[in-house]
Structure 1
Amino acid sequence: MDKKFDKEYSTQWIKEVKWLSCHNVRFTFVKRDTNGITIYKYKKTHQLFSALAEFYCRNGD
């Protein structure tokens, strides 16, 4: 069985998007799904995961 890995991280949580932006992590593209929800996509990098780790440690979410 072939396993496929998503090369991008996605979020729709604006608080997370703003945090990443403040830490110089820019999304690669934005899309809207069929329900009108905006989804932000990021390339998976060390910088992204470091910023996310800090975000979730500070916010406890």
Structure 2
Amino acid sequence: MLSNLSKTQVDRKCPKCGCAEVVRSQRIDLTDRMLSLINVYPYRCQKHTCKNRFESFGKA
């Protein structure tokens, strides 16, 4: 099971630019909090020119 979690983390990419350098973002509103109840969390691309914020399954 642990290997599946680390693979999920590696496969998470920004849908806008395809960069794999993404980090969890803060939940900022009620929608983010409600989505976290079904294991969907906000992430942000770390590429300097992108900074896209998006939702993805899982905490890893």
Q: Same fold (TM over 0.5)?
A: no
| TM-score (normalised: structure 1) | 0.28
